Structure 1
């Protein structure tokens, strides 16, 4: 193979030796950036870049921790060279030459540094840092080492399958789906290296992860919307404040006419979601997001309906936990209790629960999210997890394939995964080919209970014809049982629409003798999509 100069340079900057962390060598600018500055290369200043470049002459001699003056002098030489080559302006040069270069303290070698970073941040909300260092407090957390290791291995295994995407990064949050206690947290693909904590600090557009909030808003109006209400997936064009036209398209570049509301969510149709959201009102969707746990309120622009709001994985996990817990909001917990060295209780962090959403509409959305996994954009999850678990989840992909997301939950566990690049360049991956792959690997390593919530008291089931959405006989071809909020199921009983449309009015054929006296059972909503709406 012939390698270009760019190929050779890229290999060099990814492999060059730039220091030592105990017994571990620091190779490559990406790792060195995290080691010395605690952030990815995309966030480095000109001054910090110059310091790393200066270290190439001698990583030990120009180590900014052990020889700060020498490292600073060398970085000034590099800055002048950059100015001579017109890589930076004279203004940038003057600014970069002013003052020292700050590096972070030597990273600690704790077993789970990203999770401990989360715990420390929560403690600093209530304790002074000097007290945490000197008081000898005993901190009890919900960290589960087995879950943490599974999360780290899931990321590592996925990264091994993407050798050609060396700049990919990932973040993972795993919680108990009942208590919302954080069991595991991964802030980057180098799990043992404390640096930029993407699970907490990477605020990225969430794409289609926002869509359940749109459909929950609709289903909270049962007099108008049900799972089988027809919504338009026709092209949509909206004028932006600057006068330009915003014309979102579906991922498959097709439009699908009038579709059941349920199908629009399962297949993550963009145009029907935007049409529905604009009919509901941006403020109504924003209110639903707030009830789910998103703060602050997002900008009320149409692009919000397709996830143009930036969130961290921890924030996404909070929103999806409210769905997983049937509309009950519980703040995520990373600390259970704090004790003195003598065992006296300083603080116990009790579980708090607040019902923010009616359980009926949440039940309907969860049924649709289970179908996302069984029949929709998340169906490749079957490679790792049994369909009997009834996993509910949602894929997310942002513009130009820059960010990939998956949020999902079983009966006892919830996980959110982000896969992308720190420099925000395209990954070439979707939610299904990126983040979902990590989710599957993680959950397959853990014990999971099936997600099978009982219907709330305000849910009733009705047998409907999938062609019309109207109530029909149990013996009609394709008849299915659909959950409705009580009082919203169709009242009018119609003939078998499919038979009527395909063959014209027909007399009812007698049942085979072997089936006489039996009642044909309708299929359930999660089973009919493939046959009816393919």
Structure 2
């Protein structure tokens, strides 16, 4: 076939594909693509469906949880943020012309209150002193009678006590001037947290500046959480390989302290951050700051957690926060980082270094200049003495306070938040009583380790319990012998025997002779009783005053029997004795069981010129809003004749001057004191009761098992009182003649009233109504005297 022919041969045509048909490979690829598209679209829709539903659930959950947290926070912030412990205060020292307070005692009180002695007071909390004057700039404080403003006064003294109180600003004489009471303790009934609330307005500005500078510089800019601080802290901690910096704001710290535990977990941190945001949204920055300043943990006082700057100031420095120096304020901010780690008593160098860092930050921020910074870092920490307790251990007294509060206000009072209890305790008297008990009992206990003691001191003017000790270890919380014992009071009953007699001036005076002869009496139960004198001697007759001051038994019994045992029992009962009185003759020598508190009650009546006032330990109670709770007036009445009581007081001064308590008189010859010793049978109980111008004291020394001690009233209980006055020097009794009493003169032998200047006579106070001295010393009148009537 030729080429031409070949070229003419028609070419083979490819079969055209049928309409809609595809190649198999392409078809498969398309199918796969379509299938994948449908699958991814379905998964996406499912993921989206699940995601938005989960998101919605999470949103609702977070919103619900946020609402719940918001309610929790609102209840805390808008209700009662803290249960504030009940504050228990001492008495408020009253100064006025004639007050029985010595120059030394005022200075001791000021030092106890944390006042600073300076050459010239320039600010609140300072005083200066000369030999007869004290220039004082008093702090403002809350008194039961109302808020007392700060005030500067000049207090002048003489030998009798306070002679004048004048206001420095205008030299105006003040009728009465009060010092703030000592905060004795705070009664914690809940979680063991202790705090003293101080509003931000009363916080030193330097503390606020330091706190924000050190703990949260952007406090006023962030909204509860500072993300930049968290990132910065994380980087620093990663670089250091350990936790060296925190990123929490003050608001977060507050949220943790208020609502959360100290557990370290992501969940807790998230919750903390959420609460901080809510707190910041709901409340002003200043309110958050105030809550933080009063909530922050500042240290540990044994079993009590110290919370808040106000209490920390007292805990570390023993004075109000407003009176702290700049370095002391800086320390309070410094210690927040780690109260245990920076404990200034255990690690003073570490604490000082941390304080100095705070001071340096203040300088770098322009809050201090270089000179101020240098002076501050060179100053000591200025801590309170470690042996000076923040709260007083007063188990015996606090037991009486709690009993009285329950009786007068109900047992739920102390569970209320923020109440303030003002008591009658005199801190200086309490300190003197405790020192006397420790010193005397250590000496007496060398021969008998089982000896115990109970002691009560009252304020003669207020009838308040000024001091109380219930054990030879005053801080021991247990059996309170000052209140709970019931032991025979021995010769301490004798003043009431003689008070009964001297109230019958037509029959008895201090000079009346009494029989000192053997006597046998029937006790009404078929048994006889023959009292004896301690020296086993009988003198025939002795003057009433001699029988009293030498505590001679038989004349006392004869006197009591002449008047009737029931009459003496009535006198004792009127004086405030609230125990059982068995009206048998032996009662006249003290077969009456009582406690030091019961004895103090009746001797308070004698010291107060026969006026009975029920002893108390609480003067006022204020609620959280500082409103006084209503109380009934203290029971009182004129129980004994003031004139005859004056004679008993005189007789008690002679006991100290030349009677059974003469050793006490020799120890304090410059002071007129009144006292009475007492000893029960077989020297089982040693008693003493006495008073100076300010305080009445009743003391018992004995054994819990009622064993013999070998001690008399003068060698046991009186020794405690003597040591008490050694620490708290007595103020001499002021004994001007009162209405109805005159200076009389009596025959030493017969007791007959005579004119002054007569031979063999003695000067003694007497009741005016019955004092009729024999004219001419009892000698017959001459014709001239009869003629002239003289």
Give me the TM-score of the superposition, normalised by structure 1: 0.70
- Equivalent residue, structure 1, for 2:278: none
Residue 555 of structure 2 is aligned with which of 272, 292, 297? 272
Equivalent in 642, 648, 660 of residue 365 of structure 1: 648
Q: How does 1:509-520 map to 2 (within 5 A)?
A: none
CA distance in 1, matches of 2:704, 2:459: 28
| In 1: Cα distance, 2:432 partner to 2:604 partner | 20
Deviation track 1:220-276 (CA, whole Å, cap 9, x = no partner) reads: 111111111111011111123332221111111111111111111111111111111
Q: Alignment partner for residue 461 of structure 1, among 737, 743, 746?
A: 743
Alpha-carbon distance in structure 2 between the residues aligned to 1:480 and 1:308: 34
**Residue 419 of structure 1: CA displacement?**
0.4
Match of 1:168 in 2: 451
1:356 match? 639
Poorly superposed stretches of 4+, deviation over 6 Å: none
Deviation at 1:130, TM superposition (A): 4.1
**Counterparts of 2:570 and 2:420, CA distance in 1:** 39
1:195 paired residue number: 478
Change (3 A) 1:242 1:133: same
Give the 5 Å matches for 1:122-271: 122-162=404-444, 163-271=446-554
Q: Distance in 2 between matches of 1:212 and 1:447?
A: 25
Deviation at 1:285, TM superposition (A): 0.7
Q: How does 1:316-465 map to 2 (within 5 A)?
A: 316-347=599-630, 353-386=636-669, 388-465=670-747
Look up the match of 2:133.
none
2:408 and 2:631 in contact (8 A); partners too = no
Indicate the SS of the match to 1:232. Answer: strand
> Secondary structure of 1:165's partner?
coil
2:764 alignment partner, one of 471, 482, 496: 482
Specify the alignment match of 2:576 in structure 1.
293
Structure 1 Cα separation of the partners of residues 739 and 508 of structure 2 = 19
Q: Which has the larger radius of gyration?
A: 2
Find the aligned partners of 2:685 and 2:408 in 1 and give their Cα distance: 34
Contact preservation (8 Å) 2:397, 2:467: yes
Aligned pair partner of 1:282 in 531, 541, 565: 565
- Shift of the 228–476 alpha-carbon distance from structure 1 to 2, 3 Å rule, reads same
Matched residues in 1 for 2:559 and 2:756: separation? 31
Tell me, yes or no, if the aligned pair for 2:580 and 2:592 is still in contact at 8 Å: no
- Cα shift at 1:458: 1.1
- CA distance in 1 between partners of 2:564 and 2:746 (Å): 29
Alpha-carbon distance, 1:287 to partner? 0.9
Query: What's the RMSD between the two structures over aligned residues?
Result: 2.1
Cα distance between partner residues in 2 of 1:229 and 1:164: 43
- Name the CA distance, whole Å, in 1 between partners of 2:485 and 2:579: 16
- Residue 444 of structure 1 and its aligned partner are, at CA, apart by 2.2
Aligned to 2:455, the other structure's residue is in SS state strand
Cα distance, 1:291 vs structure 2: 1.4
- Please report how far the alpha carbon of residue 476 of structure 1 lies from its aligned counterpart in structure 2 after TM superposition: 4.1
Between the aligned partners of 1:140 and 1:131, the Cα distance in structure 2 is 14
2:592 aligned partner: 309
SS at match of 1:394: strand
Secondary structure at the aligned position of 1:415 is classed as strand
Cα shift readout 1:68-91 (whole Å, capped 9, x = no counterpart): xxxxxxxxxxxxxxxxxxxxxxxx
Write out per-residue CA displacement over residues 159-193 of structure 1, whole angstroms, 9 at most, x where no aligned residue.
12121111000011111111111111000111111
1:402–1:426 CA contact under 8 A, matched in 2: yes
Tell whether the 8 Å contact from 2:665 to 2:673 is kept in structure 1 after alignment.
no
Equivalent residues of 1:226, 1:488 under 8 A apart: no
TM-superposed deviation, 1:455: 2.0
Q: d(CA) in 1 for partners of 2:629 and 2:417?
A: 12
Matches within 5 A, 1:4-15: none
Distance in structure 1 (CA, Å) of the matches to 2:635 and 2:578: 18
| Distance of 1:352 and 1:449 partners within structure 2 | 28
- After superposition, the C-alpha distances for 1:7-55 in whole angstroms (9 at most, x for unaligned) are xxxxxxxxxxxxxxx89xxxxxxxxxxxxxxxxxxxxxxxxxxxxxxxx
118 and 449 in structure 1: CA distance in 2 versus 1, 3 angstrom threshold: same
Give the Cα–Cα distance (whole angstroms) in 1 for the partners of residues 777 and 608 of structure 2.
39
User: Does structure 1 retain, via aligned residues, the 8 Å contact 2:499–2:648?
Assistant: yes
Query: What is the rounded CA distance, in whole Å, between the counterparts of 2:453 and 2:579 in structure 1?
Result: 25
Contact (CA 8 Å) 1:336, 1:348: kept in 2 or not? no
Task: Kindly state the Cα deviation for residue 479 of structure 1 after the two structures are TM-superposed.
Answer: 3.1
Question: Is 1:208–1:396's contact at 8 Å kept on the other side of the alignment?
Answer: yes
State the distance in 1 between where 2:565 and 2:747 align.
Answer: 32
SS of equivalent residue, structure 1 residue 252: coil
Point out the more displaced range, 175-184 or 440-449: 440-449
For the structure 1 residues 375 and 383, does the alpha-carbon distance in structure 2 shift closer, same or farther, using more than 3 Å as the test? closer
- Could you tell me how far 1:203 is from its partner in structure 2? 1.1
TM-score (norm 2): 0.48
Residue pair 1:384, 1:441 contacting (<8 A) in 2 also = no
Q: CA deviation at 1:382?
A: 2.8
Task: Give the gaps of 5 or more residues in structure 1.
Answer: 1-21, 24-108, 498-534
Query: Take 1:379 and 1:363, find their aligned partners in 2: how far apart are those partners?
Result: 20
Count of residues in Structure 1 that have an aligned counterpart in Structure 2: 390
Measured in 2, the distance between the counterparts of 1:330 and 1:421 equals 31
Offset at residue 487 of structure 1 (A): 3.3
Partners of 1:277 and 1:467 lie apart in 2 by: 21
State the SS of the aligned residue for 1:451. Answer: coil
Partner of 2:225: none
Structure 1's 473 and 168: CA in aligned 2 closer, same or farther, altered over 3 A? same
Deviation of 1:134 (Å): 4.3
The aligned residue for residue 85 of structure 1 is none
2:398 to 116, 123, 132: 116
SS at match of 1:463: strand
- Report if aligned partners of 2:755, 2:773 keep a CA contact under 8 Å in 1: no
Separation (CA, whole Å) in 2 of partners of 1:312 and 1:471: 40
Does the Cα contact within 8 Å between 1:339 and 1:347 map onto a contact in 2? no
